[in-house]
Amino acid sequence: DSAILFALMGARRVVAVEPSPWAYNVAKKNITINGLNNVVILVNCAVAREDGRTLMLPSTETTTGFRVAVIATGAEGDVPVPTCTLDTLIERYGPFDVLKMDCEGCEYESIPYSRRIGEVKEVLVEYHGGYEDIVRKLREEGFKNIKYLLPGEGGKLYEKPVNLQLGLIYASRQQ
């Protein structure tokens, strides 16, 4: 939905990443229905620390019906999916003006290990279990303006995190 919104709001190019095969197919149809095939590039992979493959485990805890497994279990019903690093995405599809991440935990497997995150101008990332490693990496890569948001508050920015375990980080390279 975010990719379509950004495209409808005037983005010239949007790269959307979706690991769930089911959600990927729904997103592909939505992009076509909205006439955005020439604006939105849809990539079927899970953002991870390394390029390769992993398994998505069936789950009732997410809207897609799956959750990404860090360790493959090989249980019946697991779905193999490709993985890609943030660096691979930047190399193949960048440069990016804005990086928006809402990946239910992949932020910890991607941002701290990225060598190219500093090429992005602005970052908006949801965190799910602490923010320190993400903010440390963003500062190391030259992001000066780092603010925090609470989901559902309508964009109010805070100088310090309000919720230490769950929230949004907004970072830009300019003050």
Q: Tell me: the pLDDT tens digits for 62-88?
A: 544 444 444 445 566 678 889 999 999
Residues 124-133 pLDDT 10s: 999 988 899 9
Q: What is the pLDDT of residue 75?
A: 60
By three-state DSSP, how is residue 86 classified? Answer: helix
* Of residues 89, 88, 65, 90, the one with CA closest to residue 78: 65
**In the chain, which stretches have pLDDT less than 50?**
60, 63-72
Q: Is there a contact between 172 and 121 (Cβ–Cβ < 8 Å)?
A: yes
**pTM listed for this prediction:** 0.85
